[in-house]
């Protein structure tokens, strides 16, 4: 485990991903998300396997971040899942998670920005020239 300048961000995101995954893996929440949400909005019959794939990817991403292995892939996959969550679930509720709203996109937005920072710890200089 490397203690470089992204260490604290990697640990923080890993904890968030684990806490967002493991409890719902143990309390039937993944099954409910797959069967009662994903299958109902058109993902049937793959809603349940997709829900499990999402949660397992979170656990694997957390492990990758902690041990600094396959970090870019872990970040990219997690960002794609977060963007899908914004589009499918949180976007309709606006910006705020709490306060002036509920269940909005602000937390997902922050997670995406932190994951991008982990992927590009020196910023996007030089990356923007290639676009």
Q: pLDDT grade, residue 128 (50/70/90)?
A: low
Per-residue DSSP letter, 42: I
Rounded mean pLDDT, 8-30: 97
- Going from N- to C-terminal start, the domains of the chain cover 7-122
CA distance 93 to 76: 24
Q: What is the largest CA-CA distance in the chain?
A: 47
Q: Reply yes or no on whether the pLDDT at 91 is more than 60.
A: yes
Q: pTM (2 decimals)?
A: 0.90
């Amino acid at each position: 485990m490397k203690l470089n300048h992204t260490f604290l961000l990697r640990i923080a995101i890993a904890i968030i991903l684990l806490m967002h995954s493991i409890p719902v893996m143990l309390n039937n929440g993944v099954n409910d998300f797959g069967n009662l949400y994903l299958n109902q909005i058109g993902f049937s019959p793959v809603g349940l396997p997709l829900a499990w794939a999402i949660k397992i990817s979170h656990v694997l991403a957390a492990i990758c971040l902690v041990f600094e292995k396959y970090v870019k892939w872990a970040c990219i996959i997690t960002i794609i899942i977060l963007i899908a969550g914004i589009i499918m679930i949180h976007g309709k509720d606006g910006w705020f998670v709490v306060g002036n709203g509920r269940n909005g996109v602000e937390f997902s937005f922050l997670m995406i920005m932190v994951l991008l920072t982990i992927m590009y710890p020196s910023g996007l200089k030089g990356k923007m020239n290639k676009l």
